[in-house]
């Protein structure tokens, strides 16, 4: 019988490409995902129909500032604690890419920040 230590000893001689191929094959063979084993063990048994996962963490992105740039800059400073120059650059940079205001927050906090930024003229996306 091959022990886990035997497998580890053999893996030390393999290339990284070989190990990655093994991981891929194990995932395919056993239907394993990248979820940590403790998380998988703590999860309830799968039902016949998969449930839709509820998103629990959200990110708020500033996508534009409209005609109220100064008000949006002030709001970004207040929310993020950024310096005036940083907030100004972030707001003005939304013309080319959205600026992430906050990440990993609750749905309620994301809605509050969205409302706060929209009230001063900002365009906001919550993801």
pLDDT tens, position by position, for the chain (127 residues)? 888 888 878 878 888 787 778 878 887 887 777 655 555 555 555 555 556 678 888 999 998 888 888 998 899 898 888 888 888 888 888 777 888 888 899 999 999 999 999 999 888 999 9
Q: pLDDT value at position 42?
A: 57
pTM of the complete model: 0.55
Q: pLDDT value at position 35?
A: 57
Q: What is the DSSP string of 15-61?
A: -HHHHHHHHHHHHHHHT--SS-HHHHHHSPPP-SSPPPPPP--EEEE
User: What is the fold, at CATH topology level, of the domain defined by 58-126?
Assistant: Ribosomal Protein L30; Chain: A, (3.30.1390)
Token digits of residue 36: 């940590």
Whole-number Å distance between alpha carbons of 10 and 23: 14
Domain boundaries defined on the chain: 4-39, 58-126
- Residue 60 pairs in a beta bridge with 102, 126
Q: pLDDT value at position 43?
A: 55
């Amino acid at each position: 019988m091959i022990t886990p230590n035997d497998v580890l000893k053999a893996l030390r001689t393999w290339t990284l490409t070989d190990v990655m191929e093994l991981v891929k094959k194990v995932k395919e063979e056993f239907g394993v995902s990248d979820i940590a084993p403790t998380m998988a063990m703590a999860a309830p048994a799968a039902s016949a129909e998969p449930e839709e996962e509820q998103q629990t963490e959200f990110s708020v992105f500033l996508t534009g500032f409209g005609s109220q740039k100064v008000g949006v800059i002030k709001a970004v400073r207040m929310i993020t604690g950024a310096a005036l120059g940083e907030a100004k650059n972030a707001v003005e940079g939304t013309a080319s890419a959205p600026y992430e205001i906050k990440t990993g927050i609750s749905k309620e906090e994301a809605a509050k920040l969205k409302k706060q930024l929209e009230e001063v003229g900002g365009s906001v996306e919550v993801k």
